[in-house]
A and B are shown apart, each in its own frame.
Chain A
Amino acid sequence: MSLAYCRATAHHVARSLQRSGISSSTSSPFCKAARQNIQFAAISGSRTLSASVTYPDESMEHSYEQRRLPVTQFTEDEEMIRDAARHWANEELRPLVRDMDNEGKTRPEVIQGLFDHGFMGMEIPEEYGGSGMNFTSACLVVEELSRVDPSVSILVDIHNTLTNNAVRFWGSEELKKKWLPRLASDAVSSFALSEAGSGTDAFAMKTTATESPDGSYYTLNGEKLWISNSREAGVFLVFANVNPTLRHKGITAFMVDANTEGLHVGKAEKKLGLRASSTCPVVLDDVKVDTVDILGEVGLGYKYCINILNEGRIGIASQQIGIAKGCMDIAMPYLNDRSQFGTKLADFQGMEHQYAQIATEIHAAEIMTYNTCRMKENDIPFVKEASMAKLYSSQVAEKAASKSIEWLGGIGFTQDLLAEKFFRDCKVGSIYEGTSNIQLQTIAKRIKDEYR
C-alpha cells in the first residue's frame, strides 16, 4: 500500500469527519481523527476511502497499522536515491569544496557530474530526459549535497524546485519539449526575479517586456540583481512586466536562452558564504524573446512566482538541515576523539546537553520538512507548513553551525575544518527565498485566519 495513498486517505478521512460535525483540523496530526473515522466508516459503511484505489482484503485495524509509517521512513527508491547522492557528494564533491570556496567558483567538472548523475532533471518526466522522481527525493538529494557543500546544493535546488518545476506546471507542451530536455541534460538555470529595488517586494520590479508590433516577440529591458547560478546558467527564467499600469498583473515569466543578444551577466558578488555559487547582476538590454518562450500566460507571472517559491522553500529547508547535519558530522567525531583532563569532550555533561539539544532541533526540523514534502505530494495545502519548515530549519542551521565551532574550539575557528564555512554558508538561509520576517508574517496570517 503506497505511502501516498495512505496519507491521502487519512486526509480524506479527516475531512469527512469535519463534514459530519466532528472537529478535526487538517493541520493537526490525523492520527486520532483517522483512528476514529476508520471505525466510524466500518460501522456506517460510508465511502471515506477512495473507490478508485484497491486496498488489501484485510481487517481495517491491520490496514491502519500498515499506514502509520513515520515521516522519516522513506521508500526503497528514496533510500537508494539518498545513498547515491551521499556517495557522489562524499567521493566526488568533498575533495573540491575548500578550493571552490576559496576560488569563489564551482568547478565545471562538478556541474558535469551533477548532470551525469541525474541530479539536474530529478522531477522531469522520463519522456523529456529526466528521472521522473518525486519531490521528496529531490529534497533528499538537496539535503545530502548540502551536507557536503551548500553552494552546490543551492544550484541544484534552484534549478530543480524553481525553474524545472515551473516549466513542468505551467509551460505549454511546446515550451516543455523545447526546454525540459535541455534542463535535464546540459543547461543550468537561474530564477531571475529580484532587482535592486525589489527583493521582498518582488512585484515592485522595474524590468519591462514590450510586445512587438506584430505580437511575435517581446523586448526585455532591465537589470536583475542577486541572481544565483547566473554565471553557469544556460537559461534564465526572467520575470518582467508587460504592462506596468496593471501593476503586478502585468508580470510575465520568460525563458531566456543565456546566449540571447543583449543579455549580460555581470560580475559576481563577493559574499560571506555560498561563495562558490555565482550571484551576479543580469542586465537585459533590448533582449528579444519569442512568444513561444513565455511560460504559461501573459500577466500570470506573479502567480507562478508566488506558487513556485512556496514549494521551493521546502527545498531550502532541506538545504539548511543538510548544513546542520554537516556541522554535526564534523563536530561529533572530534568530540568523541579529543580528551581534556582525561575525559573525552563528548562525555562532559555540559557538552552532552548542548549537542543533545542541537540534535533534537535538527530532528524536529527534519520531520517538519519531510512532512511538508508529503503534504505537497498529496495535494494537501502546505503553504503555512512550508514557511514554518524554512523558518525553523534556517534557525536550526545557524545554531548548529555556531555551536559546532564552539565545540571544536580553536581548530573550529580555522580553515583546517569546514565548520567555519558552514557558519558562513548558513546565514543566507534566513534571507533568501523569503526572509524570516516574511515567513513569520505568512505563518501569522494563516494562524489568525484559522481562529477567525
Chain B
Amino acid sequence: MKKILVPIKRVIDYAQKVRVDPSKGPQGVQLKNVKMSMNPFCEIAVEEAIQLKEQNKGAEVVAISVGPKQCTETIRTALAMGADRGIHVETKPDVRGDYIDLQPWAIASLLKGIVDREDAVDLVLLGKQSIDSDCGQTGPLLAGLLNAPQATFAANIERGDDGSFTVERETDTGTETIKLNASGKPAVITCDLRLNTPRYPTMPNIMKAKKKPVETISLEDMVKELGLDLDEVLTPKHEVVEVYEPPPRKEGETVGSIDELLGKLKEKGLVA
C-alpha cells in the first residue's frame, strides 16, 4: 500500500459549551476565543491510517485540512500522531470553517482534485461526520465524484493482500460487512466511533512533527491549480436558516404511584 489520505477538520472542541453568537444574526455560533480541536471522528480516521501504515511498511499518510491558518495546529496534531506530511489549503480569515461558508460539496470537490493531484492514492479515510455540521456528506460525495467504492460508518477495517478492504459497518439495525474490491480507484471509507481509540502523541513524536513537511497553499491557488471555479466552491449549496440554543429543559412532574404514572401516560396519549 502506498498512500493514505486523511482529510481532517478543525472544529470547536467537543468539550466546549457552544453558544449562539447574536452578532451573527440567526446564523452563527460563537467562534471567537473558543477552543478548537481536531474533529473526534477525524482523529479516529488519523489513528486508523497510522495503524494501517504500521501494518503496511512504506505506506505514507497525508493529512489534509481546508481552513484558516490555525489549521496548521490541527495538521501538526496529525503529524504528531504519526502522519508523514500535511497539506493545508488556507482560506481567508473571514471564511467560516464550520458549515456556513465551506460546505461538504466544496470540500469534496477540492479533495477530489487533491486525490488526482497526489496520484497513486490507495485509500481516503475520513471521519463519518463533523461535530459542528453533522452533515456526514463529505465522504460519500467524494466517493461519488471519484467514482470510487465507499463504505461509511466503519467499525472495523481489514485490508486484503489484493488491495481490497473488508469493512464492518455500523447501521441502525446491526453490523453489516461489505468488501470494497480493488478497483484502481482509492477506496473511500468514513470512520465511526468504535473503530479505534486514537493515541495521544508522545513527547518524541510531538517534537518530530516539527520537521515533517506541510504544504500550505491558498484556497484560491488550489482552486486554480485544480481547474475548479472559485465562486462555485465558495457558494454554499445549502443555506443555514437559523441556529438556536435548545429550549431549557422543562421541569418534570412527580407522581405518587404507578397507577398515577399510567394515568398520566394515557392522558398524554403515549400509552393506549
Task: Judge if B77 is at the interface, Cβ distance under 8 Å.
Answer: yes
Task: Judge if A330 is at the interface, Cβ distance under 8 Å.
Answer: no
Q: Which of B76, B207, B209, B210 is most buried by chain A, counting CB atoms within 10 A of its CB?
A: B207
Task: Judge if B200 is at the interface, Cβ distance under 8 Å.
Answer: yes
- A87 to B206 Cα, complex, angstroms: 14
* Residues of A173-229 contacting chain B, CB below 8 A: none
Decide if A76 touches B204 in the complex (CB within 8 Å). Answer: no
- A91 to B197 Cα, complex, angstroms: 12
Q: Mark B31-62, 1 if CB is under 8 A from A, else 0.
A: 00000000000000000000000000000000
Decide if A87 touches B200 in the complex (CB within 8 Å). Answer: yes
Task: Judge if B149 is at the interface, Cβ distance under 8 Å.
Answer: no
Decide if A126 touches B204 in the complex (CB within 8 Å). Answer: yes
* Residues of B63-85 contacting chain A, CB below 8 A: 72-73, 76-77, 80
Decide if B207 touches A117 in the complex (CB within 8 Å). Answer: no
Q: Which residues of B contact A141 (CB under 8 A)?
A: 203
Question: Of A87, A88, A91, A126, which is within 8 A of B207 by CB?
Answer: A126
Task: Judge if A347 is at the interface, Cβ distance under 8 Å.
Answer: no
Task: Judge if B177 is at the interface, Cβ distance under 8 Å.
Answer: no
Interface of A is mostly: helix
Decide if B210 touches A84 in the complex (CB within 8 Å). Answer: no
* Residues of A217-258 contacting chain B, CB below 8 A: none
Decide if A131 touches B204 in the complex (CB within 8 Å). Answer: yes
Q: Which residues of A contact B206 (CB under 8 A)?
A: 77, 80-81, 84, 131
Task: Judge if B202 is at the interface, Cβ distance under 8 Å.
Answer: yes
Nearest CB on A from B145, distance (A): 33
Q: Which residues of B contact A126 (CB under 8 A)?
A: 204, 207
Nearest CB on B from A228, distance (A): 22
Task: Judge if A132 is at the interface, Cβ distance under 8 Å.
Answer: yes
Residue of A nearest to B37 (CB): A83
Task: Judge if A332 is at the interface, Cβ distance under 8 Å.
Answer: no
- A131 to B204 Cα, complex, angstroms: 4
- A121 to B204 Cα, complex, angstroms: 9
Decide if B202 touches A116 in the complex (CB within 8 Å). Answer: yes
A131-B207, A132-B207, A133-B207 known; A80 vs B202 contact (CB < 8 Å): no
A77-B210, A80-B77, A80-B80 known; A88 vs B203 contact (CB < 8 Å): no
- A109 to B202 Cα, complex, angstroms: 16
Question: Of B77, B200, B203, which is within 8 A of A131 by CB?
Answer: B203
Q: Which residues of B contact A118 (CB under 8 A)?
A: 202-205
Task: Judge if A119 is at the interface, Cβ distance under 8 Å.
Answer: yes
Q: Which residues of A contact B73 (CB under 8 A)?
A: 76, 80
Task: Judge if A122 is at the interface, Cβ distance under 8 Å.
Answer: yes
- A91 to B73 Cα, complex, angstroms: 23
- A133 to B209 Cα, complex, angstroms: 12
Q: Mark B196-232, 1 if CB is under 8 A from A, else 0.
A: 0000111111110110000000000000000000000
Q: Which residues of A contact B77 (CB under 8 A)?
A: 80
Residue of A nearest to B206 (CB): A80
Decide if B76 touches A117 in the complex (CB within 8 Å). Answer: no
Q: Which residues of A contact B202 (CB under 8 A)?
A: 84, 116-118
Decide if A88 touches B76 in the complex (CB within 8 Å). Answer: no
Question: Of A80, A91, A122, A133, which is within 8 A of B201 by CB?
Answer: A80
Nearest CB on A from B224, distance (A): 28
Residue of A nearest to B203 (CB): A118
Q: Mark B174-210, 1 if CB is under 8 A from A, else 0.
A: 0000000000000000000000000011111111011
Residue of B nearest to A80 (CB): B206
Decide if B207 touches A119 in the complex (CB within 8 Å). Answer: no
Q: Which residues of B contact A131 (CB under 8 A)?
A: 203-204, 206-207
Decide if A77 touches B200 in the complex (CB within 8 Å). Answer: no
User: Given known contacts A81-B206, A83-B200, A132-B207, what 17 new A-B pairs fall within 8 Å (CB)?
Assistant: A76-B72, A77-B207, A80-B76, A80-B77, A80-B80, A80-B206, A84-B80, A84-B206, A87-B200, A116-B202, A118-B205, A119-B203, A121-B203, A121-B204, A126-B204, A130-B204, A131-B207
Task: List 21 A–B pairs whose Cβ atoms lie within 8 Å, in order of A's numbering.
Answer: A76-B72, A76-B76, A77-B206, A80-B76, A80-B209, A81-B206, A83-B200, A84-B80, A84-B201, A84-B206, A87-B200, A88-B200, A116-B202, A117-B203, A118-B203, A121-B203, A121-B204, A122-B203, A131-B204, A131-B207, A133-B207
